[in-house]
Amino acid sequence: MTPNVAAISGIGSVSPYGPLAGLIPPCRLEPESITAWTTAGLRRAFLVKPFRPAGVVPGLKTRRLDRLAAWALVASSLAIQDAGIDLRQLDRSRVAVVFGTGLGCAELTEAFFQSAAANGWRGTDPSPFPEGLANAPASHVALWHGLRGPNITVGSKGFAGETALIQAASLLRHGQADLAIVLAGDTLTRSVYEWYEAAGLLSPACYNSEPLPEGGGFVPSEGVAALVLEPAGRREARGYAQFRSGQWAAGGRASAGREVETIRQMLDGSVPSVTICAGNGAPCAPSSVTALAREIGGPGAAIVPAQAVAAGLTDAGAPLHLILALSSRPRKGPALLLGTSGDGGFAALLLELP
């Protein structure tokens, strides 16, 4: 467990709601038709509408970058702006970047494969190769903001977003950074979408214009959410929430069911006033996470259900789940951000909501 040291003092996001600093104004989104590639009939997803990054963050040059890197640059800039932090006043060798992603820069990875398909492996285009590396978004965030602290890109089946938050808090706790920009996100590409489809993971809502049904698959999404994490106590810091501790474990245990015991240990006797469910794309996740939330919080527990837009981000959805939950003005007090992988794996982050 990572004990509490950190406050979430800034929020930024590039999501199907658009590029935004701070909380996301409540509004119901429906999936959109995919037009970026030819599909066999109607196919829908939660998509980030094209926008000009330099229109949001003046001076940004993103032409050669994967969209994931461009969105990370925009989301991090919006979060830093929201936190009211002037990075020039900080020792930037003490500012970390921690990025959680399931698939990394899928777009430029595909572009590199495309150049191999067109020209053979001997004739590949060099430009997508380094920009397609999974750590390229975090590197660009460091480069743009001049951040010379630890620069970490993590992935974890089902829990990349939660893991990024836990690792960032750990860096602060161990004095390895004074401030961390935590990001999580993924992009949708044709081969990613068609993989979900071939694997039978998609919701019926991907194939028709009906409103979202409960359960039964997910609607893929894309975007990047960014949080500024700093040691609690800066007087002028905006306090969206305090990160107190986090724990996660893989699924498939012979003794599945221990997650309740482990989470209760982490809660140390306190009962969460609200549990924020972080669906991770697995079809059974929404029900399993809600059941786990009820078991921990008791029958009267307030539960913020998993939001379809964030659940569609699969592994990297947790920070967007959190932002959406905070935007709905949940109860004050201890809150649990809870995700399950459907096979007994879980991630639990204990927060304090002011």
Partner 1 sequence: MISGRLPPVSHLRINDLRISDRRINDPGKTIVVTGVGVVSPYGVGLECLQEGVLSGRCCLAPTTDVYPGFEGTTAQVCGLPHPENGAASRYSRSDRLAMVAARDAVANLNCESVAFRESGAGVFMASTVAGLSEIDPGIVEDPAAWYRQGGLLRAATYPAAHVADAVGEHLGIHGPRCAVSAACASSAMAIALAANMLLDGAAPMMLAGGSDALCPFTLSGFSSLQALAPDPCRPFDQNRKGLNLGEGAAVLVLETLAGAAERNADVLAVLRGWAMTNDAFHTTAPQQQGNGLADCMRVAMEMAEVSGDEIGYVNAHGTGTPLNDIAEASAYETVFRGRSRPVPVSSTKSYFGHCLGAAGALEAAITITAVRCGALLPTLRLTDPIESPGVNWLRGEVRRESLPLAMSVSAGFGGSNTALIFGSGRGCS
- What part of residues 26-45 is at the interface with partner 1 (CB under 8 A)? 40
Which one of 11-19, 98-106, 275-283, 290-298 is the stretch in contact with partner 1 (CB under 8 A)? 98-106
The residues in 36-95 that bind partner 1, with binding defined as CB under 8 A, are 40, 92-93
Contact 107, 66 (CB under 8 A): yes
d(CA 194, CA 188): 10
Question: Quick one: residue 342, left, alpha or beta (phi over 0 = left, psi -120 to 50 = alpha)?
Answer: left
Structure token digits, residue 70? 């461009």
Show Cβ contacts of residue 187 under 8 Å, excluding neighbours closer than 6 positions: 66, 67, 68, 71, 103, 105, 106, 107, 222
Binding window for partner 1 (CB under 8 A); candidates: 22-30, 193-201, 209-217, 295-303: 193-201
What contacts 8, CB < 8 A, 6 or more positions away?
227, 228, 229, 239, 240, 241, 242, 243, 351
What are the tokens at 321? 């789940």
Of 162 and 352, which CB lies nearer to partner 1 in the complex structure?
Answer: 162
Print the binding letters for residues 109-148 with partner 1: x by CB under 8 A, - otherwise. xx-xxx-xx--xxx-xxx--xxx-xxxx-xxx-xx-xxxx
Q: How many residues bind partner 1 (CB under 8 A)?
A: 76
Measured CA to CA, the distance from residue 312 to residue 238 in angstroms comes to 29
Count CA within 13 A, CB hemisphere, residue 213.
14
> Cβ neighbours of residue 332 under 8 Å, at least 6 residues apart?
273, 353, 354
Burial class (CB in 10 A: 0-12, 13-18, 19+), 183: buried
Which one among 81, 191, 273, 287 touches partner 1, defined by CB under 8 A?
191
Is residue 218 at the binding interface for partner 1, with CB under 8 A as the rule? no
Tell whether residue 155 is a contact of partner 1 (CB under 8 A): yes
Total residue length of the chain: 354
- Minimum CB distance to partner 1, residue 67 (Å): 16
Nearest distance, CB of residue 105 and partner 1, angstroms: 10
Give yes or no for a contact between 231 and 178, defined as CB atoms under 8 angstroms apart. Answer: yes
Of the pair 88, 122, the CB lying nearest partner 1 is at 122
User: Does residue 235 bind partner 1 (CB under 8 A)?
Assistant: no
Select from 23-31, 205-213, 249-257, 330-338 the region that touches partner 1 (CB under 8 A). Answer: 249-257
Binding to partner 1 in span 267-296, by CB under 8 A = none
Which residue number, 249 or 302, has a Cβ lying nearer to partner 1?
Answer: 249
Grouping H, G, I as helix, E, B as strand and the rest as coil, residue 353 is strand
- Find the binding residues for partner 1 in span 295-334 (CB under 8 A): 315
- Closest approach, Cβ 300 to partner 1, in A, equals 31
Kindly tell me which of 145 and 294 has the beta carbon lying closer to partner 1.
145
Which residue among 154, 165, 232, 353 contacts partner 1 (CB under 8 A)?
154
Between the CA atoms of 81, 84, 90 and 93, what dihedral angle is there, to the nearest 10 degrees? -40
Q: Using the minimum distance from each CB to partner 1, give the nearer residue, 104 or 272.
A: 104
Contact segment (CB under 8 A) with partner 1 among 219-227, 234-242, 250-258, 305-313 equals 250-258
Among 97, 232, 274, 306, binds partner 1 (CB under 8 A): 97
